[in-house]
Amino acid sequence: MESLGNVKNTIEILQKYNFNFQKKFGQNFLIDKNILEKIVDAAQIEDSDCILEIGPGIGTMTQYLASQARSVIAVEIDKNLIPILQDTLSSYNNVKVLNEDILKVDINRIVEEENAGRPIKIVANLPYYITTPIIMQLFESHIALKSITVMVQKEVADRMQASPGSKDYGALSLAVQYYSEPEIITKVPASCFMPRPNVDSTVIRLTSHENPRLEAEEEAYLFALIRASFNQRRKTLVNGLANVSELGVSKDDVKTVLGKMGLPETVRGETFELERFIELSEYLREMKE
Instruction: Provide φ and ψ at 56, rounded to 5°.
Output: -70, -15
Domain boundaries, the chain: 7-208, 219-288
What are the helix (H) ranges across the chain?
A: 7-16, 33-42, 60-66, 82-88, 107-115, 131-140, 154-160, 171-179, 219-231, 237-242, 251-260, 274-288
Identify the pLDDT of residue 127: 82
The CATH architecture annotation of domain 7-208 reads 3-Layer(aba) Sandwich (3.40)
Give 206-235 pLDDT, tens digit per residue. Answer: 999 988 778 899 999 999 999 999 988 788
Give 91-135 pLDDT, tens digit per residue. Answer: 999 999 999 999 999 999 999 999 999 999 999 988 888 899 999
Say if 7-208 and 219-288 have the same CATH topology.
no
Return the CATH number of the domain spanning residue range 219-288: 1.10.8.100
pTM for this one? 0.92
Rounded Cα gap, residues 165 and 287, in angstroms: 28
